[in-house]
Amino acid sequence: MTVAATNELGTSTRSGRKKRLCVACNSRFYLSELLRVTRSPAGELVLDSRRNLGGRGANVCPTRKCLEKAIAGRRFEKTLKASVRYPDVEEFISSARVTSLRHLATLMISCNGARLLAIGSDEVKKSLDKGDASCLMIAKDASMKRRFLDLATDVDVPVMMLDSKQFMGDLLGRRPVGVIAVTDYGFAQRLTNILDRLEALV
């Protein structure tokens, strides 16, 4: 399922301030922007999404291009200092997407529990009117899509476009929903980063 994020929020505040090299492109990024990969006792490459697995780790950009390059070029062995059994690249990318989707759902539920979401047309309109919307999430198949895109543009609120009302509802464990406002800047930034990661894995 394709997820697209537009009008990226700023990224001045980051967790994981240390920078590391991507094994594929050799560019430096904050740890929070990279996937950590380690080697299992059986010699397989394993995604360490929580960065809590022991042993040596290698970092790679969470993009299809870098994952394909790292696996095809066997780039992990030098950093891990051990031979590894490389997975099928499509299966590995799929695993990375599943991990990011889990993070997205967890974060959305946390936002909702903390009452940092305005859900549905009426609540989102109130949020925009009060000026407390940090970003909008709009389903591509929402009937009011054009209306809320215009409203967001009028007040300079970033917009993230997601696949469908069903997808957005599933993230919250509820019925389909067409538009959501995130009322906390930090959470909005984290959601945007995850959506950007998902888009880069398409």
How does pLDDT run across 125-140, given as a tens digit for each residue?
A: 999 999 999 999 999 9
CATH code given to domain 19-98: 3.30.1230.10
Asked whether the domain spanning 103-200 has the same topology as the one spanning 19-98, the reply is no
d(CA 179, CA 170): 13
Residues 140-170 have pLDDT tens digits of 999 999 999 999 999 999 999 999 999 999 9
The phi-psi region of residue 50 (left if phi > 0; otherwise alpha if psi is between -120 and 50; otherwise beta) is alpha
Side-chain half-sphere exposure of 114, counting CA atoms within 13 A: 12
Indicate the residue type of 179: V
**Which CATH number does 103-200 carry?**
3.30.1330.30
- Domain extents for the chain? 19-98, 103-200
Query: What values do phi and psi take at 162, rounded to 5?
Result: -115, 165
Which pTM does this prediction carry?
Answer: 0.78
What's the pLDDT tens digit per position in 37-52? 999 999 999 999 888 9
